[in-house]
Chains A and B, each alone.
Chain A
């Protein structure tokens, strides 16, 4: 006789809201007439994510393990869930954008129609598009929330797949440049499936070592064990490979530029911000809760990985000519900055990682939202040369993009500076001074390529056949406004949110 586990519905309510919205979204797709679907889907998805955001605020401070210890409801989990819900709302607004000035919906009407056929050309001229992208996005978001909150490697693996599978599909749903979009989906899928197999093998070896997949159980087994460390260390290594892939950390970053460039930009905004947040939420939970007493096994490795990531991200970004690829390499460099805080294995490391994820996510969503606005005849104008003199065409868009780039570069009075400051301080306190020095050099290199774009926008003559700057639709405007306000606020007055991250920095169990 197996006792049914007790379920804390209150503690799980953020996840339940988003998951509920996803399931309702599937029904809407089946039963609501096409004319109303877009509005209903957007409403359902927003209601779910806003509901999650509100319930996170209401249950802040809860500390418990529920579903027989499988899911944690604690400070870090709720902070990540709140961050994901907020970023989810902003990304959903971008995904839903279909203002005619921005080229209508970014998603293909029928993904199954082969590219270049007569039917495909017919569909391209129509304005309607499928709305499956909303349930897909909410499923992915729910998976991300569970991913960062799971206290059990099996639940973490299932959540990893729940978040990944919709993302693979979303990457391939682009309306324009469909071949690139499908190629991005294929690459993301094959590499993603490959690394989840690694994660799973790590899980199996750790199960063999500890006899359980509960993170605290592994922690306890490792504490007083006379067993051989081989299973333990190899299992942890495989597990971390799977997690680092999702976070886009070098040397597991190869997919990032291709997928970010090929996917529709609104999907890239969603992936770049939310996936990174969820992946680091999971990394930090696995390492701190499951392996916190054995940090000699993972700290030196992640130390090296962080250096490689910083160098690869910031140096390769210098050579990019496409704005989405440049932002992709910048996101790799940012993964390195976050790792600088994460390897501290201290409460300061945890709270600084949480804070950095929030600032990075908000700025990234905003930056990709601006990329959606700069367009020429066949969609978004990605090539950096086309961005020359943008400030003369549209001073406001250029100013907002400059703000995001300055925040990504970590210039004072933007959120990026505060974020970098706290992770570097956590790294220093943990005795990782050489790493912090390398991170500082990397951020100087990174500042160069961010500033290069700003110089290009302000001090170059616009090309005669350059792109136009679309007037953002209402949804994009809201999303951009929130991201801009947050980027400035978290730079000027970060105190309250830093306090919040500090108070959240305690794992349960």
Chain B
């Protein structure tokens, strides 16, 4: 079992996340795509940790999880406050600021 496959998988997941952020319309889905990107990074880190034979990568993955959790708190608060006013979580509706 070569660890490289995990790196490829992580890269694919990262790309899916990045494309999702760019094409999806619902703020919650966009946010889930960001989380997917963060988790693909975790997979990359753990795989490199295995390849390099150091534990740093696994430790970093813990930090990433904690930061992602903090980001969820802030992000959902912002999305909720907008949703309660507009009754919609579509990011296309948030178009008052332009040009």
Contact = CB atoms under 8 A, between A and B. Distances in A.
A116 B97 CA distance: 19
Contacts of B85: 114-116, 178-179, 182
Contacts of B52: 207-208, 211
Interface string B71-93: 10011011101101100000100
Contacts of B70: 161, 165
A180 B37 CA distance: 28
Interface in B38-73: 38, 40-41, 44-45, 47-48, 51-52, 54, 56-57, 60, 63-64, 67, 70-71
A172 B74 CA distance: 11
B41 A189 contact: no
Contact of A186 (B27, B41, B99): B27
Band of interface residues on B: 35 or more
Given A193-B34, A211-B52, A213-B60, A205 B44 contact: yes
A187 interface: yes
A200 B60 CA distance: 10
Interface of A: 111-112, 114-116, 154, 157-158, 161, 165, 168-169, 172, 178-180, 182-187, 189-190, 193-194, 197, 200-201, 203-205, 207-208, 211-213, 257-258, 261-262, 319
29 contacts: A154-B60, A154-B63, A157-B64, A157-B67, A161-B70, A172-B78, A180-B97, A182-B78, A186-B79, A186-B91, A187-B94, A190-B31, A190-B34, A193-B31, A197-B38, A197-B41, A200-B37, A200-B41, A204-B44, A204-B45, A205-B44, A211-B52, A211-B54, A211-B56, A212-B56, A213-B56, A258-B98, A262-B96, A262-B97
- Judged by DSSP, the binding face of A is helix
A213 B45 CA distance: 11
Contacts of B18: 194, 197
Nearest to A172: B78
Given A161-B71, A169-B74, A211-B54, A201 B37 contact: yes
A169 B51 CA distance: 39
Given A186-B94, A190-B91, A204 B31 contact: no
Given A154-B60, A193-B34, A207-B56, 17 more contacts: A157-B64, A161-B67, A168-B78, A169-B77, A172-B81, A186-B94, A190-B75, A194-B34, A197-B14, A197-B41, A200-B37, A204-B57, A207-B45, A207-B52, A211-B56, A257-B97, A258-B98
A200 B38 contact: yes
Contacts of B77: 169
A208 B57 CA distance: 9
Given A115-B85, A194-B34, A213-B56, A201 B44 contact: yes
- Judged by DSSP, the binding face of B is helix
The 6 closest A-B pairs by CB, nearest first: A197-B37, A208-B48, A204-B44, A258-B97, A114-B84, A211-B52
B21 interface: yes
A179 B60 contact: no
A19 to B, nearest CB: 16
A190 B51 contact: no
B63 A157 contact: yes
Contact of B67 (A116, A158, A257): A158
A186 B85 CA distance: 13
Given A114-B84, A200-B41, A193 B94 contact: no
A201 B41 contact: yes
Given A154-B60, A200-B38, A211-B54, A183 B21 contact: no
Contacts of A203: 41, 60
A258 B57 CA distance: 37
Given A169-B77, A201-B44, A190 B60 contact: no
Contact of A183 (B30, B44, B57, B94): B94
A258 B85 CA distance: 19
**Chain B CB within 10 Å — which of A154, A157, A189 has the most?**
A189
**Chain B CB within 10 Å — which of A169, A183, A187 has the most?**
A183
Interface in B1-51: 7, 14, 17-18, 21, 27, 30-31, 34, 37-38, 40-41, 44-45, 47-48, 51
A193 B14 contact: no
A183 B34 contact: no
B19 to A, nearest CB: 11
Given A115-B85, A197-B41, A213-B56, A208 B51 contact: yes
A68 to B, nearest CB: 12
